[in-house]
Amino acid sequence: MTKSRSLLLKTLAVMFGLISLFFVFYTARLLYVTHWLTQIRAGGNGTYIGAVAFPVLALLFGFGALRLGKKTRTNGS
C-alpha cells in the first residue's frame, strides 16, 4: 500500500470516527432534552425517527471507522 493511500484511509477512519461520535452525542442530547422521549411537543414525531436513526448512523460510521482502521494496520503501514 502506498503512503498516500494509507494516509487517505487513516484520514477517512478518523473522519468516520468523529462523525460517529457526533451521532452518539446527538442521541444522548435528544434523550436528555426529551427526558427519555417522555416530553415531546405536539407534532414532534420526528423525535422518534431521530431516536432510531441517530444510533444507527453512529453504529454504521463507527463500524466503518473500525474497518478502515484495521485495513491500514493490517497492510503494514
At residue 74 the predicted structure's pLDDT band, cuts being 50, 70 and 90, is: confident
Q: Which residue has the cell 503512503?
A: 3
Give the per-residue pLDDT at 75. 62
Structural domain spans, the chain? 3-74
Predicted confidence (pLDDT) at residue 77 exceeds the cutoff of 70: no
pLDDT at 72: 87
What's the grid cell of residue 74? Answer: 493490517
| CB neighbourhood size of 68 (10 A) | 20
* Cell numbers given for 35: 427526558
Reported as a single tens digit per residue, the pLDDT across 25-54 is: 999 999 999 999 999 988 888 999 999 999
Residue 73: per-residue pLDDT:
82
User: Which residue, chain included where needed, has cell 478502515?
Assistant: 68
pLDDT tens column, 4-21 = 999 999 999 999 999 999
